[in-house]
Chain A
Amino acid sequence: METEKILAMAVAAVAEEKGVQPKHVRVLSFKEIQKSSLEKFIEDNHISYHKYQLEDS
């Protein structure tokens, strides 16, 4: 997806959450987060993997 589209979606989401018009949301910085080495390894090797996760109830 293009960076502009991703930014527009992020701005729309923040505007909705804050209850303001999107034009009033100002983007100060934008950083693309790379996939981690582990995520790449899992993807490259077509590994079926789900992290075992519990919640203390």
Chain B
Amino acid sequence: MMDAKWQKGIDRLIHKREVIAAAGGLDRIAKQHSSGKLTARERMDALFDDDSFCEFNDMITSRATDFGMDKKKRPGDGVVTGYGYIHGRLAFASSQDFTVEGGSLGEAQAMKICHAMDKALEMKAPFISINDSGGARIEEGIDGLSGYADIFYRNTAASGVIPQISVILGPCAGGACYSPAITDYIFMTEKNSQMYITGPAVVKSVTGEVISSSDLGGASVHSSTSGVAHFVYPDDLSCLNGVRRLLGYLPQNNEDKPMHVEGIPRDNSLLLGDIVPVDSRKPYDVRKVIHTFVDEGSFLEIQEDFARNLVIGFARLDGDTIGIVANQSQFMAGALEINASDKGARFIRFCDCFNIPILTLVDVPAFLPGSQQEHGGIIRHGAKLLFAYSEATVPKVGLIMRKAYGGAYIAMNSKGTGADLVYAWPIAEIAVMGAAGAVSIIGRKEIERAEDPSAKKEELLDEYNRKFMNPYIAAEHGYVDEVILPEETRTRIAGAFRMLKTKERSLPKKKHGNIPL
């Protein structure tokens, strides 16, 4: 028979646990469910492997008493934090509870989140932040607000050390946006996520502009226009499954390697001749090229609706993760511009932080010309891509598929910027610029002086095409390591990454480089 004091203590704890599990109450949980959202703890269950989540600080409460806070406080203070396992590997997470004070961030909530972040950094394991909050808890004044600074500080310290993922499953407004912005990847859901620094009401009062919250900061806007969001899913469950999928490509930390996942190797390189038209002005979907040689179903595209002229994503080759950067000729003929430069550079830097080899598929006519690009700072943004490739010390393999012209060729993992191996197909054209542009400059006087200018132009075009629009001069001069047949594509790429597995390259000692932001 158990001692009565034991029983009393156990009963008290069970009651406390029931209060904690009830969060903001049944009505608020029902409201959360009716809007298609899960509760904070349900999200943790969906995020982590079954029955693996362990909670921290579930009884913590706010110390605030002003503005009736002494009567409103709830155990947990509007956030669930803890650790668990994803694909059997340790991870830490926080999940804001909208049913408790709208998930608002106060001193105790920030302390809980920071505690989980500190543990993630100490254990060198990924951190996932699930956001569903009205913002800073006004009743707590500066103590709540400064909690954001504590989080940003830790996000920055952990950047490049552990993967950090933000999942926006409700509102994320004001200063709260900057934690996700510092992290590596942002997930959103189609209907329930919003991110903005100032909401529609403030926008209206300050600028007079009338705009809905979804038009201002919904998933569609952030995945296609601003480039803030990396992944969008229909609902909480699919979104959290997406986080699990992404983590399957990543290592635990910057000293680890990504997990090896045995898949189904595929080599449909023979189809490449049908996928890629010889005429360099004809578009094709570069994702079809990727699918011919990566492990079956392994390509995970990132930011697929933003800067669509550049495709980025993870895939597996013989079970190992690689990062892929590829020009997409279906949009802007694959030209590089401001957004594509930013998108590519950030992805390359992520891969370099976390020991993920990079494959670059090149079919690029130029940096996009025009005053909009020049005035928007294409010089500054394009430089990021050059900087990122030059700085990256992970294995870097390139394949020049068709066009590789001018500065854009240099920016797409050229040998000079540190590429380990560069391959080219026989139809590749590696030159300062396309034939028409080149002839109009270098042959202008000759054409003007000719008796038959159009015949002369054709003659010069033929000469330029014959001499320069091929991969052989680049191969003769060492800028291309090998010109390969399409059917050799997978064999060469996989072989190159296998050979480069033990690569060691270091940069001069420095605090950090100064990338042109």
Do B45 and A54 touch (CB < 8 A)? no
Do A53 and B87 touch (CB < 8 A)? yes
The CA-CA distance from A12 to B242 in the complex, in Å, is 41
- Count of chain A residues with a beta carbon within 8 Å of a chain B beta carbon: 14
The CA-CA distance from A37 to B44 in the complex, in Å, is 11
Number of A-B contacts (CB under 8 A): 47
Chain A residues closer than 8 Å to B462, beta-carbon distance:
none
Do A54 and B87 touch (CB < 8 A)? yes
Chain A residues closer than 8 Å to B368, beta-carbon distance:
none
Check: A38 CB closer than 8 A to any chain B CB: yes
Check: A3 CB closer than 8 A to any chain B CB: no
Do B39 and A56 touch (CB < 8 A)? no
- Count of chain B residues with a beta carbon within 8 Å of a chain A beta carbon: 23
Cβ distance B19 to chain A, nearest Cβ, rounded Å: 15
The CA-CA distance from A47 to B241 in the complex, in Å, is 14
Do B42 and A52 touch (CB < 8 A)? no
Do B49 and A53 touch (CB < 8 A)? yes
Chain A residues closer than 8 Å to B50, beta-carbon distance:
51
| Given known contacts A41-B33, A51-B50, A36 and B259 CB-to-CB distance under 8 angstroms | no
Q: Which positions 21-57 of chain A face chain B at CB distance < 8 Å?
A: 36-38, 41-42, 47, 49, 51-57
The CA-CA distance from A14 to B347 in the complex, in Å, is 52
Check: B237 CB closer than 8 A to any chain A CB: yes
Check: B11 CB closer than 8 A to any chain A CB: no
Cβ distance A26 to chain B, nearest Cβ, rounded Å: 18
Chain B residues closer than 8 Å to A36, beta-carbon distance:
42, 45
Do B244 and A51 touch (CB < 8 A)? yes
Do A57 and B260 touch (CB < 8 A)? yes
Query: What DSSP secondary structure best describes chain A's contact surface?
Result: loop
Do A41 and B38 touch (CB < 8 A)? yes
Do B261 and A38 touch (CB < 8 A)? no
The CA-CA distance from A14 to B178 in the complex, in Å, is 54
The CA-CA distance from A38 to B43 in the complex, in Å, is 8
| Given known contacts A36-B45, A38-B46, A41-B33, A56 and B261 CB-to-CB distance under 8 angstroms | yes
Chain B residues closer than 8 Å to A42, beta-carbon distance:
237
Cβ distance B371 to chain A, nearest Cβ, rounded Å: 46
Chain A residues closer than 8 Å to B88, beta-carbon distance:
55-56
Do A56 and B89 touch (CB < 8 A)? yes
Give which listed residue, A41, A53, A56, contacts B42 with CB less than 8 A: A41
Residue of A nearest to B44 (CB): A38
| Given known contacts A36-B45, A37-B42, A54-B259, A47 and B237 CB-to-CB distance under 8 angstroms | yes
Chain A residues closer than 8 Å to B45, beta-carbon distance:
36-38
Do B38 and A55 touch (CB < 8 A)? no
Cβ distance B45 to chain A, nearest Cβ, rounded Å: 4
Chain A residues closer than 8 Å to B38, beta-carbon distance:
38, 41
Do A54 and B42 touch (CB < 8 A)? no
| Given known contacts A52-B241, A52-B244, A57 and B262 CB-to-CB distance under 8 angstroms | yes
Chain A residues closer than 8 Å to B124, beta-carbon distance:
none
Do B33 and A57 touch (CB < 8 A)? no
Do B245 and A49 touch (CB < 8 A)? no
Do A55 and B87 touch (CB < 8 A)? yes
Do A51 and B241 touch (CB < 8 A)? yes
Chain B residues closer than 8 Å to A56, beta-carbon distance:
87-89, 259-261
Chain B residues closer than 8 Å to A47, beta-carbon distance:
237
Do B46 and A54 touch (CB < 8 A)? no
Do B49 and A55 touch (CB < 8 A)? no
Chain A residues closer than 8 Å to B406, beta-carbon distance:
none
Cβ distance B41 to chain A, nearest Cβ, rounded Å: 7
Interface centre among A38, A42, A47 (most CB of B within 10 A): A38
| Given known contacts A37-B41, A57-B319, A52 and B245 CB-to-CB distance under 8 angstroms | yes
Chain A residues closer than 8 Å to B134, beta-carbon distance:
none
Chain B residues closer than 8 Å to A41, beta-carbon distance:
33, 38, 42
The CA-CA distance from A24 to B33 in the complex, in Å, is 48
Cβ distance B292 to chain A, nearest Cβ, rounded Å: 23
Check: B248 CB closer than 8 A to any chain A CB: yes
The CA-CA distance from A52 to B50 in the complex, in Å, is 11
| Given known contacts A38-B46, A52-B244, A52-B245, A57 and B41 CB-to-CB distance under 8 angstroms | no
Give which listed residue, B237, B242, B248, contacts A49 with CB less than 8 A: B237
Chain B residues closer than 8 Å to A38, beta-carbon distance:
38, 42, 45-46
Interface flags for B78-104 (1: CB within 8 Å of A; 0: not) read 000000000111000000000000000
| Given known contacts A41-B33, A56-B87, A56-B260, A51 and B42 CB-to-CB distance under 8 angstroms | no
The CA-CA distance from A57 to B319 in the complex, in Å, is 9
Q: Which positions 5-62 of chain B face chain A at CB distance < 8 Å?
A: 33, 38-39, 41-42, 45-46, 49-50
Do A37 and B39 touch (CB < 8 A)? yes
Supply 8 further A-B pairs (C-beta < 8 A) apart from A54-B259, A55-B87, A56-B261: A37-B41, A37-B45, A38-B46, A41-B42, A42-B237, A52-B242, A53-B87, A56-B260
Interface residues of B (CB under 8 A from A): 33, 38-39, 41-42, 45-46, 49-50, 87-89, 237, 241-242, 244-245, 248, 259-262, 319
Interface residues of A (CB under 8 A from B): 36-38, 41-42, 47, 49, 51-57
- 6 chain-A/chain-B pairs, Cβ below 8 angstroms: A37-B41, A37-B45, A49-B237, A51-B49, A52-B245, A52-B248
Interchain residue pairs A-B with the least CB separation, the first 4: A56-B259, A57-B262, A38-B42, A38-B45
